Structure 1
Amino acid sequence: MAETVRIERDFIGELSIPASAYYGIQTMRAVDNFPITGVPIEKELIFALAAVKKAAAMANMDMKMLPPRIGEVIIKAAEEVMQGQLLDQFIVDSIQGGAGTSINMNMNEVLANRGLELLSKVKGDYFHCNPNNHVNMSQSTNDAIPTALRIAAYRHAATLLQTMEQLHEGFVQKQVEFDDVVKVGRTHLQDAVPIKLGQEFGAYAKVLSRDMERLQEASKRLLSINMGATAVGTGLNAKTAYIQKVTEYLGEITGLPLYTAEDLVDATQNTDAYLEMSAALKVCAVNMSKICNDIRLMASGPRAGFSELLLPARQPGSSIMPGKVNPVMVEVMNQISFQVIGNDHTIALACGAGQFELNVMGPVIAFNLLQSLKIMNNGMDVFHRFAIKELDANRDHIKRVLDQSFTMITALNPHLGYDVAAGIVKEALRTKQTITSIILERGLLTIEELQEIMHPEQMTTPGIAGERFLHMG
């Protein structure tokens, strides 16, 4: 049997709405108008917007503008949404025209119709609980949606920072674990001088700590909200006391130290807080991609590559090559980094596309910013758990390559001079002899002096080599 419908009307006309649906006519118009990504509104944004509606209802009740009987059911409905109920009723596409009006009205209609149900009224009987007049009271899309986005982004960033801290600790643990592994260092992808594998992972930990600092600083700007700004920041239709109350209630509901922006016109026009957060994510993505490139190269092989790192095997690597295992957890982190870098460009274009009193590109900013935060968190989580935690060093191979390399010749510069040292390398390449044997044959240094100068671990500690040279001189 066909589902029964109800007829809803707006100033454009009327539409048939499934009788059981909590959404209404403006949601359906958005569904028809914007079949764009197929991706619904992000759950964290739904939670945040429901919190905004709850806080607004509480503040409007304090102002004696919203009848308690209606305000209480709006609050109850908003709480249900925040608990994860009715999520299937949020059906508008993430990318849409209208600066987020469709997202706002989807929420308003769901809360209004659930409120009507709690009042024992039929859905669509908006005289008793109206999406615009009651749920959206003292608000505009232009303050409700930006505030919800700031809350959602802040919460995502807090989760990401926790995950980054775990990855940072993972790098630090590998720094300690690999402190005794001296390997060939490389510049220009060519053999350079010895370095500890632990030092390389220590550098990864350091750059990640700076990424965390940047993200923490950017997060602070998201706590400034423009609730009460309404349409253009002038606060039309919102009482001054309401502006203070709604921010206080929203802080209590979310547990965040939210505060009203110093200039509501500025806070409504400008979107630099999102751009700053995205920029911090982009820098982190670039750094993570570089780290992943290093790890993939060091793990390349197992016979024809560098073969310095041993990654945990997560899945078969080929449908045709038996036994092949690919560095999939590192590759996925690379790809996430590329996506975040691309998202940042989209966000930059959208943030620069505002005109006058409003940036209407909010939906694409929200879509990309929340996606970047979410996939960075998920990617760093699996990268840490499935790649870094059980990562091991191919110690025997690393030592063998170091012993056969010319990387320690640099330590001889102060004793033999650059030209003599370069000539020794050239002869070693031509004759296949070792550097040590050539130096001893020529009588340039004694075996004791060589052992003193060319100890690889000493060459990886700043200052020691110079001090030893002065002592020998």
Structure 2
Amino acid sequence: MSTRTETDSMGAIEVPSKAYWGAQTQRSKENFAIGHQPMPLAVVHALAHIKKAAARVNANLGELPTDIAQLIEQAADEVIAGELDQHFPLTVWQTGSGTQTNMNVNEVIAGRANEISGQTRGGKSPVHPNDHVNRAQSSNDCFPTAMHIAVLQAVTLHLTPAIKTLRDGIDQQAKRYEKLVKTGRTHMMDATPVTFGQELSAFVAQLDYAQTAIDNSLPAVCELAQGGTAVGTGLNSSPGFAEAIAKELAQLTELPLRSAPNKFAALAGHEPLVTLSGAIKTLAVTLMKLANDLRLLGSGPRAGLAEVHLPANEPGSSIMPGKVNPTQCEALSMLACQVIGNDTTISIAASQGHLQLNVFKPVIVHNLLESIELLADGCVNFQKQCIAGMTANEQQMAAHLENGLMLVTALNRHIGYDNAAKIAKKAYEDNQTLRQAALDLGLVTDEQFSQWVRPEDMLQPE
């Protein structure tokens, strides 16, 4: 492999000739050969937005020559478009401030800008990665700003539409079965009746709650650390730079971004992302219940509840012919486990803000973006592969309802709790219907039982 020589404050180092990156990226690539989790490209693209916005603002403030700013913008646009994705080889497991990735972006933009200007690929002239691309910036404010932008884009463009897709799909099924009466269950035991539509409506409300929690957490994420530079003071940036770049970024990304009122907190703490992660965990908890409930209702097909027919998407066993498993429910519950674990990692990492900087930033954004991706994909896939094709086993629901002992609850108002309990106990012990047990005990007449014990009348307050 042919190489070229690049330099940084540590000296000279050989870099692949085809690479746009420079010395600092190469050193990081060699010094942090840990794992195979690449820095999310969403963060890289967000950093390119920052470099583009900074070039514009610095040019407007007279801090950067217009021709240099234009070169930076042109190269940054290529990064944003994904045309240079292969030139960002660094993993998540690097410096906790994200300095290596920030410099990777600086070097690639500078290297490409220099090539556009007619020079060789890479290098520091006419565009310098630090003096020009990183002007009025620090990794300490660039990386948290990129974290917020990447997360906001992921939530608004992917997660929120995905939640709506699943929510609307379940709501459609709830309306379809709004009058289908079945046995309710509490403590995993038979309870008073509900409709299948009522049962499904709970998930619609839970998804709405999770979406509201996510929405409520986003305004704080819209506040940017950019302009705080190294420790929050804004050293080496011009007055008004922080507000100007926040406005520019808002226009470039079409997000309601604004400058954080306290840059010291924005660099050293990550409470907004912790809050968002908690809201996202709430969604994972809802999806876990959804998956588990449908798995229980679909259990069988002959030795379980078998009240719901889940789509048979693929063979379920390598040894048992004809077996079909609730694999979509299993996948959804597994990703919910991962998201809950990611939230724990994010919480611990965010608690490690020592003095003027939190140096666990890459693992925070890596886990948060992974959670968002898993949940977004999971919601869409579950709607398509499970909810859309799910049907009620109305015959089985009717049989369970007919045999259910807790219909006796309807008699409480007429003969009292204790007498109703006697009927339920006798019916269970003697393997009788509730009607027969009630008649044998002489507590009600056949006409009274027919009048008072009506499942369809037990679905709302009387």
User: TM-score of the superposition, structure 2-length normalised?
Assistant: 0.97
Which residue of structure 2 lines up, in the alignment, with residue 47 of structure 1? 45
For residues 215 and 456 of structure 1, what CA distance do their matches in structure 2 show? 38
The letter for the 1-side match of 2:286 is N
Which residue of structure 2 lines up, in the alignment, with residue 123 of structure 1? 121
Which residue of structure 2 lines up, in the alignment, with residue 16 of structure 1? 14
Aligned residues of 1:336 and 1:375 also touching (Cα < 8 A): yes
Give the total of aligned pairs. 461
For residues 59 and 394 of structure 1, what CA distance do their matches in structure 2 show? 63
Shift of 1:196: 1.2
For residues 221 and 317 of structure 1, what CA distance do their matches in structure 2 show? 45
Aligned residues of 2:96 and 2:358 also touching (Cα < 8 A): no
Shift of 1:386: 1.0
Which residue of structure 1 lines up, in the alignment, with residue 278 of structure 2? 279
The letter for the 2-side match of 1:99 is S
Structure 1 SS opposite 2:458: helix
Structure 2 SS opposite 1:195: strand
Shift of 1:294: 0.8
Which residue of structure 1 lines up, in the alignment, with residue 91 of structure 2? 93
Aligned residues of 1:157 and 1:219 also touching (Cα < 8 A): no
Aligned-residue Cα RMSD (Å) equals 1.3
Which residue of structure 2 lines up, in the alignment, with residue 296 of structure 1? 295
For residues 328 and 306 of structure 2, what CA distance do their matches in structure 1 show? 17
Which residue of structure 2 lines up, in the alignment, with residue 134 of structure 1? 132
Shift of 1:285: 1.0
Aligned residues of 1:56 and 1:137 also touching (Cα < 8 A): yes
Shift of 1:23: 1.2
1:183-194 matches, within 5 Å, as: 183-194=182-193
Aligned residues of 1:340 and 1:372 also touching (Cα < 8 A): yes
For residues 8 and 63 of structure 1, what CA distance do their matches in structure 2 show? 31
Which residue of structure 1 lines up, in the alignment, with residue 24 of structure 2? 26
For residues 425 and 75 of structure 2, what CA distance do their matches in structure 1 show? 79
Aligned residues of 2:210 and 2:282 also touching (Cα < 8 A): yes
For residues 10 and 52 of structure 1, what CA distance do their matches in structure 2 show? 23
Structure 1 residues 240-249 or 376-385, which shifts more? 240-249
Which residue of structure 2 lines up, in the alignment, with residue 163 of structure 1? 162
For residues 288 and 14 of structure 2, what CA distance do their matches in structure 1 show? 50
1:114 equivalent to 2:119? Answer no
Shift of 1:138: 0.5
Which residue of structure 2 lines up, in the alignment, with residue 439 of structure 1? 438
Aligned residues of 2:405 and 2:428 also touching (Cα < 8 A): no
Structure 1 SS opposite 2:353: coil
The letter for the 2-side match of 1:142 is N
For residues 230 and 418 of structure 2, what CA distance do their matches in structure 1 show? 74
Q: Show CA shifts across 1:65-85 (max 9, x none).
A: 211222111100111111110
For residues 89 and 447 of structure 2, what CA distance do their matches in structure 1 show? 77
1:290-439 matches, within 5 Å, as: 290-439=289-438
1:69 equivalent to 2:67? Answer yes
Q: Show CA shifts across 1:144-168 (max 9, x none).
A: 1111110111111112111111211
Structure 2 SS opposite 1:9: strand
Structure 1 SS opposite 2:190: strand
Shift of 1:275: 0.3
Structure 2, gaps ≥5 residues long: none
Shift of 1:313: 1.3
Aligned residues of 2:6 and 2:123 also touching (Cα < 8 A): no
Structure 1 SS opposite 2:119: coil
Aligned residues of 2:108 and 2:122 also touching (Cα < 8 A): no
Shift of 1:125: 2.8
Structure 1 residues 170-179 or 342-351, which shifts more? 170-179
For residues 188 and 110 of structure 2, what CA distance do their matches in structure 1 show? 63
For residues 241 and 192 of structure 1, what CA distance do their matches in structure 2 show? 64
Percent of matched pairs sharing the same residue = 39
For residues 452 and 152 of structure 1, what CA distance do their matches in structure 2 show? 61
Q: Show CA shifts across 1:316-346 (max 9, x none).
A: 1111111111111111110111111100110
User: TM-score of the superposition, structure 1-length normalised?
Assistant: 0.95
Structure 1 residues 110-119 or 401-410, which shifts more? 401-410
Structure 1, gaps ≥5 residues long: 465-473
Aligned residues of 1:95 and 1:367 also touching (Cα < 8 A): no
After superposition, the Cα gap between the structure-2 partners of 1:176 and 1:124, relative to the gap in structure 1 and judged at 3 Å, is: closer
After superposition, the Cα gap between the structure-2 partners of 1:407 and 1:124, relative to the gap in structure 1 and judged at 3 Å, is: same
For residues 266 and 97 of structure 1, what CA distance do their matches in structure 2 show? 20
